[in-house]
Structure 1
Amino acid sequence: MKVVSDIYRSPKDEELYLYVDKQQGMEKVPEKLRALFGKPVHVTTMLLTAERKLARADVDRVMQALQEQGYYLQMPPVVDDEMRAIAVQNTKLPRG
Structure 2
Amino acid sequence: MQAYVYKSRRKADTYVFLAARDDFACLPEPLRAQLGELGFVLEVALTPERKLARSDPAVVRANLAAHGFHVQFPPRPELEVARGRD
TM-score by length of 2: 0.84
**Can you list the C-alpha shifts for 1:41-67, whole angstroms capped at 9, x where unaligned?**
111111111110000000000000000
Q: Which runs of 4+ in 1 moved over 2 A?
A: none
Gaps of 5+ in 2: 82-86
TM-score by length of 1: 0.76
Of 66-75 and 9-18, deviating more is: 9-18
The root-mean-square deviation of aligned C-alpha atoms, in Å, is 1.7
Gaps of 5+ in 1: 84-96
Q: Which has more radius of gyration?
A: 1
Q: Percentage identity across aligned positions? A: 32
How far residue 31 of structure 1 moved from its aligned partner, in angstroms, is: 1.2
Q: 1:4 maps to which residue?
A: 2
Q: 1:72 maps to which residue?
A: 70
Distance 2:12 2:22 in 1: 24
Q: 2:40 maps to which residue?
A: 42
Q: 2:51 maps to which residue?
A: 53
Instruction: Tell me the secondary structure at the aligned position of residue 49 of structure 1.
Output: coil
